[in-house]
Amino acid sequence: MKRKLLFFICLLFTYTSYGQYWISLENGFGNSVACGYMRSVCADSKGYIYVGGEIVNTQENYSFVPKWDGHQWTELGNGIDIFTGGVGIINAVCTDNLDNVYATWGNTVMKFNGSIWTKLGNLLALDSILSGPHTFNQGLGINAICSDKLGNIYAATGYNIFNQESQSNMDYYYVAKWDGSKWSALGTGLNALNANGSINTIATDERGDLYAGGLFTNGTSDFYGSSYVTKWNGTKWASLPDPDTIITNAVNSIYVVDSNNIYAGGNSLIDTIGFYVAKWDGNKWSRLGTGTAELRGESQILSICVDKYSNVYASTSLYNSNTQQQYYTVVKWDSKMWKELQGSSAPIGSYLYIESGEPIESICTDTSGNIYAIGQPVFNNMSGIGACVAEFTHSTNSQSLTSVINISSNSNILAYPNPIVENVTIKVTQAGLLKIYNSLGELVKWQNIVSGDNVISMINTSAGIYTIIFTNESSNYLPLKVIKK
């Protein structure tokens, strides 16, 4: 029986004045939303985050795309039933150069232009790419979508047909392009991709060339027979040469920085050492990290992204020698070696620990270098409706958040009295989001507060040290330390 969980979203966020740690974000939808697996996450140029998956408004019985604006979640489209048919899975999301948002629904791509959702034509009306008599059976869904620098949209999809000549059913996989008015397949006839397995991931480079990876090994005549990544240059498909067989199995994720810096991850395994990330430098594939610097993931790489500082991130699992079990996490390549993404101090935890044993399905980065990750995990030290959202912060200051700092005010925010007996008053000059954590990193209070004085009851909290974090749309402030008697 499939469990219904609330949002899990991990955020790597950059503050400039305090320690590194994972911190939760909150759902904000309450009991009216049920969530299963999260499938896809993306960011636009403004830093807004969009999520696709099994996300259902249980009161009105429709699926939707959530948007994170830095301090709260909202339904994209103001709660309108954007996808005909009500409840289903939004398998992939992406944005274009104008920050329009795209989401997949079965074999359909939907576009949100800031006001309304519309359907982008009929993706399955592409009989011209098949030869011989055939009958359409069913679509196989859309595994991935992406955009190029001009705003063209691409979808990796397929459908099952009945071949009347061979009297057998067959699956046909292809990449289609939306040019603003219609869909067309990338390559037909001798130039068709002819993938013999699913296309799991697509991405474009600075020239507009498109790269596709997945569980396929055949295609045009220049394939090596074991290539799982291929490139469309606007005219034809061609594999990225892999004579050293660096990519040995299915590819789940491709991230393109430019045509000379492409990263791929999936089910490739170094003997029994572990799963790794591969890099294309414009001429050849190589493993990202060798020897003591190699990744050695315990499970296949599900997603990759690269931040503005050229750090590479991947979702996988590692092995805990103490518990003798694997655990899912996010790892980081800093140009020298792979490390688990973790901090030096933590309101929630210096590491990302998943109790539910579920993988991290998708990660992305925004223009500020923040990292987001989604899946179906449950964090340690978390409980309540809004559990399953985490934030990782950087620091340029070595001061630990676990120590008491002699500060209870921060320009536009003030907390008093300190120490606290029953209530604490939070005074701010702008409305925003307030979170209070105990010394174990557990979230004990979460609420939106208004400009002016806000009285927060601490009667039911234990004596100890608490961290107050306040954010709004325009700023992030230093955390405040208070003591509860």
pLDDT, tens only, 458-469: 988 888 888 888
User: Using an 8 Å Cβ cutoff, are 123 and 106 in contact?
Assistant: no
pLDDT greater at residue 478 or residue 64: 64
107 vs 124, more confident: 107
* pLDDT value at 242 more than 80: yes
SS3 32: helix
Predicted pLDDT of residue 105: 84
**Who wins on pLDDT, 380 or 91?**
91
Residue 224's pLDDT is: 42
Higher per-residue pLDDT: 221 or 443: 443
For residues 36 and 411, which has the higher predicted lDDT (pLDDT)? 36
Asked if 204 and 148 touch (Cβ cutoff 8 Å), the reply is yes
- Alpha-carbon span 122 to 62, nearest angstrom: 22
The answer to which of 47-56, 184-193, 240-249 has the lowest mean pLDDT is: 184-193
What is the per-residue pLDDT for 476?
56
Domain(s) of CATH 2.60.40.3080: residues in the chain: 409-484
Which residue, 302, 328, 200, 312, is CA-closest to 263?
Answer: 312
Residue type present at position 393: T
Which 3 state secondary structure label does DSSP give 327? strand
Determine the topology of domain 9-394 in CATH.
Methylamine Dehydrogenase; Chain H (2.130.10)
Compute the C-alpha angle 131/133/136, nearest 5°.
95
Which residues of the chain does CATH 2.130.10.10 include?
A: 9-394
What is the Rg, in whole angstroms, of the alpha carbon atoms belonging to the chain?
24
Of the ranges 178-192, 246-260, 342-356, which one carries the lowest mean pLDDT score? 342-356
Output 315 or 409, whichever has higher pLDDT.
315
- What CATH topology corresponds to 409-484? Immunoglobulin-like (2.60.40)
Mean pLDDT score, 386-403: 39
pLDDT at 201 over 90: yes
pLDDT for residue 384: 31
How many whole angstroms separate alpha carbon 347 and alpha carbon 102? Answer: 35
Average pLDDT, integer, range 183-204: 86
DSSP of 179-216 = -SS-EEES--GGG---BSS-EEEEEE-TTS-EEEEES-
Tens digit of pLDDT for each residue in 43-79?
A: 999 888 898 888 777 777 778 888 887 767 788 875 4
More confident residue, 435 or 473: 435
- pLDDT tens across 302-330, in order? 999 998 889 999 999 888 787 788 888 88
- Please determine, for residue 335, whether its predicted confidence score (pLDDT) is greater than 60: yes
Q: Is pLDDT larger for residue 448 or for residue 312?
A: 312
pLDDT tier for residue 478 given thresholds of 50, 70 and 90: low
Mean pLDDT of 150-166: 87
Q: Across the chain, what does the average pLDDT equal?
A: 77
Summarised one tens digit per residue, pLDDT across range 114-154 is: 988 888 987 765 555 666 677 777 778 899 999 999 999 99
> Residues 380, 444: contact at Cβ < 8 Å?
no
Q: How confident is the model at residue 19 (pLDDT cuts 50, 70, 90)?
A: very low
